[in-house]
Amino acid sequence: MNNSAGPRITIGVAGALLLLTFGVLAQTPDPPAANPTVTEASSAPNASSGGELQQVVVTGYLLPRIGEGPQPVTTLDRNYIEKTGSQTITDVLQNLPSALANFNPANTAGFSFSPGGASIALKGLPPNDTLILVDGLRFPQSPFPQVTTGSTISYVDVNAIPLAAVDRVEILNDGGSATYGTDAVAGVVNLILKDEYNGADVFNYFGISQRGDNETYHGSFVGGVTQKFSDTSKLSVIAAFDYYSAGPIMNSDRANTNPNFNLLSPKYPPHPVAPSPTGEFVDSSGNFYQVLPGTRGPVVTTSDFAINQPPIPSFSEPYLQIVPRETRLGGLVKMTYDVTEWLKLYDSLVIQRNEELSSFSPNQGIYPPPFNPGIVVPAYNPYNPFGIPLVVNGLALNEFGPLRTDTTITTLRNVAGATIQLPHGWFIDANVLYGESDGTETVNNMFTFNGMQAAMNGTLPGHVGQFFNPFVDESIT
């Protein structure tokens, strides 16, 4: 099964943003921070200035500049990011206290509506209540929105932003809907990309869990050059390359994910796997039949069944993953050209390709009605020892293999523009933004109910006369 999400495209033009300085204020630059810093502009007038108004920055929906108003802003600079040991932007944002109770905190392993994606949700609100900006401008939304029972939630996939390209992160924790729109109710996260970089840096990281899995590699390269042509003219070019890969963690490799909760404490009821790998069936009279564990077939007799007994639980989930396999490749190319002291041209391109490979078990399986149309093993199926029709009440078809998903998401955003400085602190900034995010999800090892019923009946096209045997222990490999 292929699930392709069409491009999510954002095109914006920001122009004629006017900045007026009412007073001249002395400012002291912040020192490099080893911890997140919080800056807040005072709302009181300067007592020694004779009632002069404070500096006011006019911000708009198309060109927001957080951190220059009365609301507190938390800044995570590059020094802080490196000291945390985070290898992705998702890891950085997960450390925020205000980001607790995220709807989708890290990634969605296995069979989900938004594979390979990660969102940031401040104050525990849905992700679409937190505005994500890159250099103060919009970023394309994920092609796979999150789906709940009540709504469909669009969000910006922070996995689509390479860590090597980020210089710092600014978080406006207060609501910013009055300035930025209704999607900033919980706050704003602004990722500032690197600029004016001289030299080159190479970074390599490798880690592995104590269980020998989840092997993680992160490598990046950042290089840049700045060329001055005169006192008022210079050209700055920076390029960043980022590669990240992480292996999976299997559910069976962690004791705390074993569905047999009795192993942890007898007070906890177990949670058997459903559907069971030992098939469950019912006849027209309501009698319950279950294949005994260890039944291999192909010849099956009535002694291989438990009849009208409590269901035999199974806790085998050999293919279920806690964390899927992730591979991400992306980068940044950014150019800034100061033509004169009053004219600046710039272009910024971010591109990222993410791939997620995951497995999920039990696989599609056959669940009790109404979750399936009522698949019946006919009386004439040669493997049916009872000679009466049996409705499949539950069967994990492990022999088909687990559900395996292969998700690929490609995201790019390009911003080109110019800034013109005008007298008296006024300026004009005009830019064109193009963003696109495309995704394809392929799900393997699925089947159709009509095809399964035909296999039970021995009428499957290309295999007429061959019957499917559902009366074996599917947990046996």
| pLDDT one-digit tens code per residue, 185-209 | 888 999 999 988 899 999 999 999 9
| C-alpha to C-alpha distances, 205 to 218, 246, 331, 473, nearest whole angstrom | 5, 11, 17, 44
pLDDT in tens, 37-67: 555 443 344 444 455 554 433 333 344 454 4
In this prediction, residue 104 carries a pLDDT of 47
Q: Which helix (H) or strand (E) holds 94?
A: helix 89-94
Does residue 85 lie in a domain region?
Answer: yes
> Is residue 183 a contact partner of residue 119, using CB atoms and an 8 Å limit?
no
> Is residue 292 a contact partner of residue 199, using CB atoms and an 8 Å limit?
no
**pLDDT higher than 50, residue 103:** no
* CATH assignment of the domain containing 214: 2.170.130.10
Does residue 285 lie in a domain region?
Answer: no
In this prediction, residue 224 carries a pLDDT of 96
Residue corresponding to tokens 């199974």 = 314
- Please tell me the distance from the alpha carbon of residue 464 to that of residue 211, in angstroms, as a whole number: 48
Compute the average pLDDT of residues 106-135: 79
Compute the average pLDDT of residues 204-222: 95
Q: What is the 3-state secondary structure (H, E, C) of 96-108?
A: CHHHCCCCCCCCC
Strand partners, 325: 357
> When comparing pLDDT for 156 and 56, which is higher?
156
In this prediction, residue 388 carries a pLDDT of 96
From 51-55, 387-391, 425-429, 430-434, the region with the lowest mean pLDDT = 51-55
- Please tell me the distance from the alpha carbon of residue 326 to that of residue 87, in angstroms, as a whole number: 13
pLDDT in tens, 7-21: 554 444 444 333 333
**Total domain count for the chain?**
1
DSSP 8-state symbol, 366:
B
Share of the chain above pLDDT 70, in %: 82
From 122-131, 161-170, 347-356, 417-426, the region with the lowest mean pLDDT = 122-131
- Please tell me the distance from the alpha carbon of residue 98 to that of residue 171, in angstroms, as a whole number: 10
Does residue 376 lie in a domain region?
Answer: no
**Range 263-268 contact pairs with CB under 8 angstroms and sequence separation of 24 or more:** none
**Token pair listed for 308:** 């009208």
- Please tell me the distance from the alpha carbon of residue 170 to that of residue 272, in angstroms, as a whole number: 45
Most confidently modeled of 81-95, 114-128, 138-152, 221-235?
221-235
In this prediction, residue 41 carries a pLDDT of 41
Mean pLDDT over each residue of the chain, to the nearest integer: 82
Strand partners, 200: 223
Compute the average pLDDT of residues 110-115: 72
> Is residue 469 a contact partner of residue 458, using CB atoms and an 8 Å limit?
no
pLDDT in tens, 74-91: 889 999 999 999 999 988
How does strand 187-193 pair with strand 130-134? parallel
pLDDT in tens, 280-324: 999 999 999 999 999 988 889 999 999 999 998 888 777 888 889
In this prediction, residue 115 carries a pLDDT of 86
- Please tell me the distance from the alpha carbon of residue 1 to that of residue 146, in angstroms, as a whole number: 19
**pLDDT higher than 60, residue 27:** no
Q: What is the dihedral of CA 164, 170, 171, 174, to 10 degrees?
A: -160
> When comparing pLDDT for 121 and 327, which is higher?
327
**pLDDT higher than 50, residue 136:** yes
The b/e string for 201-211 (b: 16+ C-beta within 10 A; e otherwise) is eeeeeeeeeee
In this prediction, residue 382 carries a pLDDT of 95
Compute the average pLDDT of residues 329-338: 97
In this prediction, residue 217 carries a pLDDT of 97
> Is residue 193 a contact partner of residue 166, using CB atoms and an 8 Å limit?
yes
Share of the chain above pLDDT 90, in %: 49
pLDDT band at 114 (very low <50, low <70, confident <90, very high): confident
Does residue 298 lie in a domain region?
Answer: no
Full residue range of the structural domain in which residue 435 is found: 2-248+324-362+402-444
Strand partners, 433: 12, 415
In this prediction, residue 34 carries a pLDDT of 54
| C-alpha to C-alpha distances, 379 to 209, 295, 387, 397, 459, nearest whole angstrom | 52, 20, 5, 21, 14
DSSP 8-state symbol, 128:
G
Does residue 473 lie in a domain region?
Answer: no
**Token pair listed for 405:** 């998903």
**pLDDT higher than 70, residue 386:** yes
CB atoms within 10 A of CB 60: 14
In this prediction, residue 7 carries a pLDDT of 55
3-state SS assignment for residue 171: strand
From 81-90, 282-291, 358-367, 445-454, the region with the lowest mean pLDDT = 358-367
Name the burial class of residue 402, with classes exposed (0-12), middle (13-18) and buried (19+) by CB atoms within 10 angstroms of its CB. buried
CB atoms within 10 A of CB 100: 12
Does residue 450 lie in a domain region?
Answer: no
3-state SS assignment for residue 49: helix
| C-alpha to C-alpha distances, 292 to 166, 236, 279, 346, 398, nearest whole angstrom | 57, 72, 9, 70, 16
In this prediction, residue 12 carries a pLDDT of 43
Does residue 11 lie in a domain region?
Answer: yes
In this prediction, residue 172 carries a pLDDT of 86
In this prediction, residue 58 carries a pLDDT of 35
Does residue 113 lie in a domain region?
Answer: yes
How does strand 152-153 pair with strand 166-172? unpaired
Distance of CA 162 to the CA centre of its chain: 13
In this prediction, residue 477 carries a pLDDT of 57
